[in-house]
Amino acid sequence: MIPPVSAAHALDAPRAFLDVTRSVLGRPWRDRCADPALQAYAATMVQAHALPEPLARVLAGRGIRPAGAEAHLQPRLRDLMPDPDCLVDMEAAVERLARAVSTNECVAIFGDYDVDGAASAALLAAYLRGLGLDVRIHIPDRITEGYGPNVAAVTDLHAAGATLLVTVDCGTSGHAPLEAAAALGLDVVVLDHHGAPEHLPPTRALVNPNRLDDLSGLGHLCAAGVVFLTLVALNRRLRRDGLDAGCLPDLTESLDLVALATVADVVPLTGLNRAFVLQGLKVMRGRGRIGLAALLDAASLSEPPEAWHLGYLVGPRINAGGRIGDAGLGARLLTTADPAEAARIAAELDRLNRERQVIEAQAVAAAEAEMDHALGLDPDRPVLVAASADWHPGVVGLIAARLKERFGRPAFAFALRPDGTATGSGRSIPGADLGHAVRSAVEAGLALKGGGHAMAAGVTLKGFDVSGFGAHLDAALRDTVAEARAVEALLVDGTVSAGGVTAEMVRMIHRAGPFGSAAPEPTFALPRHRIVDAGIVGNGHVRTRLRSRDGQAIGAIAFRAAHGPLGQALLSGIGSELHVAGTLSIDTWRGAERAQVRICDLAHFG
């Protein structure tokens, strides 16, 4: 029997990959399959399943065992779907929704202002409208209303005739607004996935796999995934109640929304989530959803969408409405059946996204300068906290993400508001649970409200007490951040050369995908390749060509690297030979395909 493998064991390998102990970005390189057991898994897959060795190594390095290789490469959603009733309160939620369908009630949907919230609201609204119900969607304004349900909006929805309120991607911590809803006689069902407090608000049902009493093991789902499971259960209930199956909406056609939310919300792309994305991409490629098709056109995406397109092209445009414009644009785009309206909304979201990029770039430059100074005074600071009255509240999460990427530790960014509050968003690194730290700050009275996930969180502070909140995060996360950074290394899946990287090879490797959170994109090293040329393109990217010793060349790009050590090494290294590490992709231009390398690190040798 092949022994089990631990990630720590793999990282403890004594020898660095290609002898790189410190790269341009200051980290060692390690063989992801250094553990003998992983090598044995890969060898078994090559022999038993006739898989190419690079693909077998990629699978083994991501926890796939030989017995599960075929199922991973050809996942079937029905094999991975759980019984929705395993979620706490699912039966009560379905009971209340079924009653709303049978009595033709007016249903209000309150969603979050991000992609997951918009997709979840659109998913539920389309289903209920397909059964003839009157559905009102409310997406709060990030600045004037903030995150989650609020008393004023709940009151307005009740006054508009709603008898059932369903919150999606929010509501788990909404005590006061949901108490107000109950006082109005408005029934509430919460469909959420955020970390939950010990004491929950009053509802008819609160379905959240991250409730403390939920043992379903589905805490990795995004909100749209929770909504989809709810609709599966509702479909089953309505059939049992005698509704003709031909009258029920086809849930498989809604998987494009689940895929979009799953990728954009950066939840683990493993198991059920991975199947959601693979099947959802197939639906999306059919371009049947008018709003999504219009947004793909606005993003100038003519090729079939892949998972990374959802995270880097589609998601940011939908989020732009909630960040600096009309927060309801995303949900309206995803529910409209009018091509003209879809084109108009998509164009507006594209414009807002360009405006957001300008705002973000200015704020990130200021935040990075501030953090460079702070780390000069305290290099071991575990959590970075930056704040400014000049920053738009809609981009603080993006600022935090850029700080986390550059400095390799959790980061929070705050917009200081004229009303005396500070609105902040944070991003973390694997191993440091930011959401838990934020919830503990709320419980300790250091924040007005807040919550989130291990990797991302949001919070509102009163009185600009950013330093007190930062001190709390430092104390809460110091040990886990130190442990996470101690084992930080670039894990490399294998070596390739410029001549060996073809479009066919890239497609073969991508059979193991889609890649994302908890399923890292394969990284390959190109040993001793010469930098033929290099130049800055676009928004701070560095484009270059690499040539191997046998004379073969391949195009490469380092995104957002121009002003950092990676980009500077490329720009100053023309003519030099370096070890290059990166991921492999296919660049399509005017119908022609060519493989390219997305550079993530460089190292000198000798």
User: Could you give the 3-state DSSP secondary structure of residue 451?
Assistant: strand
Co-location of 13 and 129 in the same domain: no
Within a 13 Å sphere around the CA of 398, how many CA atoms are in the beta-carbon half?
25
| Same domain assignment for residues 427 and 519 | no
CA–CA distance, 580 with 596 (Å, rounded to integer): 13
Number of domains making up the chain:
3
User: Is there a domain that residue 474 lies in?
Assistant: yes
Q: Within 13 Å, how many C-alpha atoms sit on residue 251's CB side?
A: 19
Same domain, 291 and 332: yes
**Each residue's pLDDT tens digit, 284-315:** 999 999 999 999 999 999 889 999 999 999 99
CATH code at position 409: 3.10.310.30
Alpha-carbon torsion, ordered 491, 497, 499, 502, to 10 deg: -10
State the residue for tokens 């539920």: 124
Is 67 inside a domain boundary? no
Residues 130 and 250 grouped into a single domain: yes
218-271, pLDDT tens digit by residue? Answer: 999 999 999 999 999 999 999 999 988 788 999 999 999 999 999 999 999 999
Does a structural domain hold residue 217? yes
Structure token digits, residue 207: 């379905």
* 38 phi/psi in degrees, rounded to 5: -65, -40
Q: Are 85 and 226 in the same domain?
A: yes
Question: At a CB cut-off of 8 Å and minimum separation 6, what does 154 contact?
Answer: 110, 165, 177, 178, 180, 181, 184, 186
575 φψ region: left (φ > 0), alpha (ψ -120 to 50), beta (else):
left
Dihedral (Cα; 85, 89, 91, 97), 10-degree rounding: -120
- Give domain status of residue 65, yes or no: no
Percent of the chain topping pLDDT 70: 98
Alpha helices in 185-326 (DSSP H): 223-240, 255-264, 271-285, 290-298, 307-309, 315-324
Q: Same structural domain for residues 212 and 344?
A: yes
Q: Residue 23's Cα: distance from chain center in Å? A: 27
Summarize pLDDT for 424-448 with one digit per residue, the tens.
999 999 889 999 999 999 989 999 8
Cis check: omega of the bond before 393, within 30 degrees of 0: no
Q: Which residue has 């991501």 as its token pair?
A: 62
pLDDT tens digits along 91-124: 999 999 999 999 999 999 999 999 999 999 999 9
The Cα-based distances of 169 to 23, 110, 140, 222, 443 in angstroms read 40, 9, 12, 8, 21
Residue 14's pLDDT is 53
Same domain, 464 and 494: no
Q: Which residues contact 7 (CB under 8 A, 6 or more apart)?
A: none
The residue segments making up the domain with residue 307 are: 80-350
Half-sphere exposure (Cβ direction) of 127: Cα atoms closer than 13 Å: 29
The answer as to whether 372 is a domain residue is: no
DSSP state of 531: E
**CATH number for the domain harbouring residue 549:** 2.40.50.140
pLDDT at 488: 83
Mean pLDDT of 127-143: 96
- CATH number for the domain harbouring residue 337: 3.90.1640.30
Per-residue pLDDT reduced to its tens digit, 354-412: 999 999 999 999 999 999 999 999 999 999 999 999 999 999 999 999 999 989 999 99
Residue 497: Cβ within 10 Å count = 18
Specify the length of the chain in residues.
Answer: 606
CA atoms of 339 and 287, how far apart (whole Å)? 12
Residue 80 has pLDDT above 60, yes or no: yes
Q: Please report, in angstroms and rounded to a whole number, the separation of the first and last CA atoms in the chain.
A: 40
Confidence (pLDDT) at 510: 94
**Tokens representing residue 276 in the block:** 């959601």
Which tokens belong to 93?
A: 């939620």
- pTM beyond 0.85: the answer is yes
Question: CA nearest 256: which of 313, 305, 312?
Answer: 305
| Residue that the structure tokens 């040990």 belong to | 479
Determine the Cα–Cα distance for residues 113 and 138; give it in Å rounded to an integer.
10
Strand partners, 593: 588
Q: Same structural domain for residues 212 and 307?
A: yes
Higher pLDDT, 309 or 3: 309
Check whether residue 496 and residue 596 sit in a common domain. Answer: yes
- The answer to whether the CB of 533 falls within 8 A of the CB of 544 is yes
Please give the Cα distance from 271 to 260 (Å, whole number): 16
Looking at the structure, do residues 478 and 569 belong to the same domain, yes or no?
no
